[in-house]
Structure 1
Amino acid sequence: MSYFKSTLTKSLILLILFNLFSCISLKDVQLIQPDDTLKLDKKGYIEFDKPEYHIQVNDQILINVATASGESMGMLSSFITAANNTTSGRGVYVRQDGNIELPRIGKIKLEGLTLEEARKAVQTEFYKIYNEEGTYIDVNLAGIEYTIVGEASQGVFRSQKKKVTLLDAFAQSGSNNIYADLKNIRIIRSESDGTKQVYVDLTKESIMNSEYYWVQNNDIIVVNPRKQKIWGIGLNPLSVVTTIMGAIATILGVYLFFDRL
């Protein structure tokens, strides 16, 4: 029986230690914590590395046209946005061949171009038909669309903002899951040369120096689960205590049963 008591004591100690070390700490769930590796410029501002986006197939492009003379765009008006009303105009999609196609103007190759390069390409073709004097043309994405899957509010989300950060993305999705592993957020990004993926740590403020802090159109954000979810314990101190007390009650019940034999 002494051997059984010794085994029981050791089992309880191991169980308590296991649960305590499995508990999710504040450092695991707090975003943008102070980090010695955060880079600042000479003025003390955070250094940003926002990559320039290159247009991809299936992107929806908005073309904004403003004319001093108020010239009618005719058939083209269904594909452009008036300068004083950014919600009108349905834009145009980049087709599989990398081109957009506009009435009267025809095809314009935009795939792989930056937004500024796309604006110049549209201008060049536009001014072959319409008067260049007193006309302003701008080209933008119809929004930034990204996907979130995993331990978060899953779905496809769209933002009308031109600049979207990972914090913006999670705020818009309403993600607030304590099982989310913020230290290993996976970003899958499509580029003209192919698809690449990286893992980022949202608990460190140095993430703001990374190019992956900025969400790009068509990004897939994968939120991995913590190991505690698989174990089913250690979510918070209360759950740790509950698990320990339940285990102790079970082991004591077994001990008392054999002690009475």
Structure 2
Amino acid sequence: MQQLSTTRRHLFFWLLCLPFALLTLLSSCTTSRVRQQNTMFRLDGTMADTSKLRRAVNRAERNYIIQPNDYLAIRVYTNEGESIIDPNGELLFGSPTGGGVRQPAGTGRQATNRGGGVQNGGTEFLVQNDGLVRLPMVGDVKLSGYTLLEADSVLKGRYNEFYQQPFVTTQVSNNRIVILGAVGGSSGQIIPLVNDNMNLIEVLALAGGIDGGAVTGIGTNRVGRADNIRLIRGDLKNPRVQVIDLTSFAGMRQANLQVEPNDIIYVEPVRRPFFEAVGDIAPLFSIVSGLAGLATTIIYLSIALRNNN
């Protein structure tokens, strides 16, 4: 009888341990699968076309090509831009001669500065899907496919009918870069290109730096991998990808490349399997612990009642 009671106790013990073993195995598999799902832009070894991308970004002449959905900040001056070069301060800086030009409805928007205010004399015009831009006085002008310098020449010829010796400046005002991953303490940011010569390191600095890469980042829940930064460029259906390592000077030289509008930069977070597994199984562990405690109490009460009888 004593041997039977001991056997029952061992059986009850293993029955209580079995859910914990199954839970641990399930959570480890789930954590590994979730970790793979949370890793963006995984490479299969054939996607990282580093040589072509380096040749593309290191070419001598880099001129942005105007594309549909771009916003162009266009300013027209007379007398070869006399109002821009004004050493005596007698002219209004940056304002088109003869006052502002009325903007047709639905063709553009007022340019805003970094602080959200309105710039004097600045107006932005949308490049439509067909490549045309509707401008005051000259009407529709096709600018898609031109560089900014070529667009200046085209607009100069069109405004030459209305002004003497026009001087035109064109600038794309909505160029930006998308940053994802462990950067700046957030999951994603959109960084505006303040100039055409920004490089990768400048963009990372504007985004707040790689998580965990500074003293203030110590103790944060997420740390970025400086040896696995992915620069994605071109058509998203067939992008060019370069993996950059900032942990070495060789990687620094490679990373000192200029970024282009619509680039995607992804900094992969450092994976911590143990802490991620603990975080994943903590809710389930609490439930199973409660059920196991309840089952143990019921079993011992039933055994005690049988012994008393």
Give the structure 2 partner of residue 91 of structure 1: 124
Give a deviation string over 1:107-155, Cα, whole Å, max 9, x none: 222222221112112222222x32242x211111215311111111321
TM-score (norm 2): 0.49
Q: Does 1:221 align with 2:254?
A: no
Structural mapping, 1:124-135, within 5 Å:
124-127=157-160, 129-133=161-165, 135=166
Question: 1:54 aligned to 2:65?
Answer: yes
- 1:89 match: secondary structure: strand
Distance 1:71 1:207 in 2: 53
Q: 1:151 matched to which residue of 2?
A: 182
Tell me, in whole angstroms, the C-alpha distance in 2 between the residues paired with 1:53 and 1:189. Answer: 14
Q: How is 1:180-259 mapped onto 2 (pairs within 5 angstroms)?
A: 180-190=224-234, 195-205=239-249, 213-226=257-270, 228-230=271-273, 232=275
Instruction: Tell me the distance in 1 between the aligned counterparts of 2:156 and 2:201.
Output: 35
Give the aligned partner of residue 67 of structure 1: 78
**1:164-183 aligned within 5 A:** 164-178=198-212, 179-183=223-227
Q: Aligned equivalents of 2:60 and 2:155: distance in 1? A: 28
Equivalent residues of 1:144, 1:158 under 8 A apart: yes
Q: Mark the runs of 5 or more structure 2 residues left unpaired by the alignment.
A: 1-57, 83-96, 112-117, 213-222, 277-309
Q: CA deviation at 1:207?
A: 5.7
Q: Using the alignment, how far apart are the partners of 1:212 and 1:54 within structure 2?
A: 22
- Relative to structure 1, the CA distance from residue 166 to residue 72 in structure 2 (aligned partners, 3 Å threshold; closer, same or farther) is same
Q: Displaced runs of 4+ in structure 1, greater than 6 A?
A: 77-81
In structure 2, relative to structure 1, the CA distance for the partners of 1:107 and 1:131 (3 Å cut) is same
Q: Among the aligned pairs, what percent are the same residue?
A: 24
For 2:167, what is the secondary structure of its paired residue?
strand
Counterpart residue identity of residue 188, structure 1: I
Task: Report how far residue 232 of structure 1 moved.
Answer: 4.9
Relative contact order (alpha carbons < 8 A, sep ≥ 6): 1 or 2 greater? Answer: 1
| Code of the aligned partner of 1:102 | L
Q: 1:167 to 1:122 in 2, by over 3 A?
A: same
* Deviation of 1:64 (Å): 2.3
Amino acid paired to 1:75 = R
State the shift of 1:99 in Å: 2.0
Match of 1:17 in 2: none
Q: Are the equivalent residues in 2 in contact too, given 1:61–1:140 (CA < 8 A)? A: yes
The structure with the larger Rg is 2
- 2:242 corresponds to which letter in structure 1? V
Are positions 1:138 and 2:169 aligned together? Answer: yes
TM-score normalised by structure 1 residue count: 0.57
Aligned positions, number: 181
Distance 1:130 1:207 in 2: 53
Once the two structures are superposed, residues 1-39 of structure 1 have per-residue CA deviations (whole angstroms, 9 ceiling, x without a partner) of xxxxxxxxxxxxxxxxxxxxxxxxxxxxxxxxxxxxxxx
- Is the 1:63–1:80 contact (alpha carbons within 8 Å) kept by the matching residues of 2? no
Match of 1:105 in 2: 138
d(CA) in 2 for partners of 1:175 and 1:211? 14
CA spacing shift, 1:230–1:67, aligned 2, 3 Å: farther
The aligned residue for residue 116 of structure 1 is 149
The one-character-per-residue Cα deviations of 1:165-196 (angstroms, maximum 9, x if unpaired) are 111111111133133222222122236x9743
